[in-house]
Structure 1
Amino acid sequence: MTRLIDLYCKALSVLIALALAVMVVLVFGNVVLRYAFNSGITVSEEVSRWLFVWLTFLGAIVAMKEHAHLGTDMLVSRLPVLGKKLCLVAGQLLMLFITWLLFKGSLEQAKINWDVAAPVTGASGAIFYASGIVFAVSAAVIIVRDLWRAVSGQLSEAELVMVKESEEQGELEALQAELAREERTP
């Protein structure tokens, strides 16, 4: 299961890179055409907007898998193992609930906008809301996997705190440790 999720996230990373490249070409090309030739690519703004929304949701899936979401471990890291496990399970259950709400809302909006044509491309407006559906389903799979790993005892104590420190935090702690060493030496 973990290998399948890893492959899925690698494929999403490729799609994100492609979407970003297409967005850059469309927007930059449109700017050049408008200023240099007083014309433009009609679908540029609409497609770029849709790609940006999809890029954001697909990136959120990859971030969810890598536990790169924002958070703080100030309290949880100081709890005993049982406390860390309880907080992790409570957090995962809350995230599953929020994911369900996002899925339900995105699905309803996709149904409502299924027959609504986009102004320029004429494509279905449901494409826009399908990104929320894809995110919700993918995130639910990742959350359930992490929840199972926590409940079944497959996580080490360090993995029970699913927040990554930022690079700045690591650098700050290294500087503080160095200053403490300098203060101790006469």
Structure 2
Amino acid sequence: MIDTAIARICRAIDLLIAAALAVMVVLVFGNVVLRYAFNSGIAVSEEVSRWLFVWLCFLGAVVAMKDGAHLGTDMLVSRLPVAGKKACLVMGHLLMLYMTWLFLSGSWQQATLNMDVAAPVTGAPMSIFYASGVVFSLCAGVLLLLQLVRVLTGNVGEGDLVMVKESEEQAELEALQAELARSDASKSGAPAARSDTPSRHRT
């Protein structure tokens, strides 16, 4: 039930991100057309677009955290035994929770300090800008706590013990190397070597 609720919330966040992108395109493109064609412009275009971009980044980070889509390297962690992977995962989550708390504390202070500070163009409170950090920290903290509880209770499979994913370029390179190995093996008549096992030469 919790997973279903989180999935629905992330779906709603995706829709908000799409709406923010659409508004940004209309504001920026419309402002360019108005300036060049009619010597006019949308006064709030730059300020609103900047705020939407910040909110878009933080909301996207929440969805990426839920899907485990942040890029990184698993060169060391992937070679550890299951106990080592769990220890690294727990330690990583504890560190991220601490950093999330620091980020929440700073964002909350900035939001409260700027409640009465008006933006120069729209006149909206500047606390809206810093509230993006508060929303991200709360959402990320909940996700990290749920993931940590699952790890500690043993409800995480071995394939989910690595938090990061290799970059798309690295995955494409490995797939290309595997394809070349299969092609060379088919030409020579020898069985193809596994792409994840380094070749060894006997002396």
TM-score in terms of structure 2 length: 0.88
Which residue in the other structure is 1:166 paired with?
167
Which residue in the other structure is 1:77 paired with?
78
Provide runs of 4+ in structure 1 moved above 6 Å.
none
Percent of pairs with identical residues: 68
- Contact 2:71/2:166 (<8 A) preserved: no
Shift in Å at residue 163 of structure 1? 1.8
Which residue in the other structure is 1:44 paired with?
45
Q: Which has the larger radius of gyration?
A: 2
Shift in Å at residue 184 of structure 1? 4.0
Equivalent AA in structure 2 for residue 88 of structure 1: L
Which residue in the other structure is 2:143 paired with?
142
1:57-80 Cα shifts (integer Å, max 9, x gaps)? 000111110111121100000000
Structure 1 distance, partners of 2:86, 2:38, is 61
Shift in Å at residue 3 of structure 1? 1.1
Shift in Å at residue 169 of structure 1? 2.5
Structure 1 distance, partners of 2:119, 2:175, is 52
Which residue in the other structure is 2:192 paired with?
none
1:96-141 Cα shifts (integer Å, max 9, x gaps)? 0110011000000001111000001111000000000000000001
1:34 aligns with 2:65: no
Which residue in the other structure is 1:20 paired with?
21
- Structure with the bigger RCO (C-alpha within 8 Å, sep 6+) is 1
Structure 2 distance, partners of 1:70, 1:169, is 11
Q: Structure 2: give runs of 5+ residues left out of the alignment.
A: 189-203
TM-score in terms of structure 1 length: 0.96
Which residue in the other structure is 1:58 paired with?
59
Structure 2 distance, partners of 1:15, 1:181, is 45
1:45-96 Cα shifts (integer Å, max 9, x gaps)? 1111110110010001111101111211000000000000000000001100
Q: Structure 1: give runs of 5+ residues left out of the alignment.
A: none
